[in-house]
Amino acid sequence: MKGKKPDHGRGTALAESPEFLGSQIKGRLWIERQGEIFLSWGRVVLLEQIRETGSIAAAARAMKMAYSHAWSLVANMNDLAGEELVGRTFGGRHGGKAWLTPAGEAAITQFWELADKFREWLKDQEA
């Protein structure tokens, strides 16, 4: 391994409680479907990067992730959603393009709304 893997701003915990008597509750959040991870912080950031760059390859580069890994995450999310979250055209002379479908946009919105509720819940906890 050449260096430390980037954390893409997510740190070690998505949320944490206030410290109480030297202890703190920390948590990560992900959504599973059919026993597999469907959405998580990293997957949602990947979707956002695809929206921003218009390309799965460019999104992977921005996240310092192998294209094959990004592609497999997108394919897995599309499969678990039962519909495309990411639409795409393939290669060609000027390369392929990718975009978020309405279902992809909704998935991002729903994940961040749930993450906000999770953060608020953890703020109310005492270790």
Q: Report yes or no: 27 and 34 within 8 Å, Cβ to Cβ.
A: no
Take residue 35 and report the two structure tokens written for it. 């026993």
Task: Say if 4 falls within a structural domain.
Answer: no
Task: Say if 74 falls within a structural domain.
Answer: yes
Task: Say if 9 falls within a structural domain.
Answer: no
Q: Write the CATH number for 113.
A: 1.10.10.10
> Could you report the per-residue pLDDT of 9-38, keeping only the tens digit for each?
545 567 777 777 788 888 899 999 999 999
Task: Say if 107 falls within a structural domain.
Answer: yes
Q: Residue 90 sits in which domain range? A: 37-123
Q: Report yes or no: 45 and 8 within 8 Å, Cβ to Cβ.
A: yes
Task: Say if 31 falls within a structural domain.
Answer: no
pTM over 0.85: no
Task: Say if 70 falls within a structural domain.
Answer: yes
Task: Say if 78 falls within a structural domain.
Answer: yes
Task: Say if 80 falls within a structural domain.
Answer: yes
Interior/surface letters 101-118, b for 16+ CB within 10 angstroms, e for the rest: eebbeebbeebeeebeee
pLDDT confidence band for 57 (50 / 70 / 90)? very high
Q: What is the pLDDT of residue 93?
A: 67
Total structural domains in the chain?
A: 1
Q: What is the pLDDT of residue 67?
A: 94
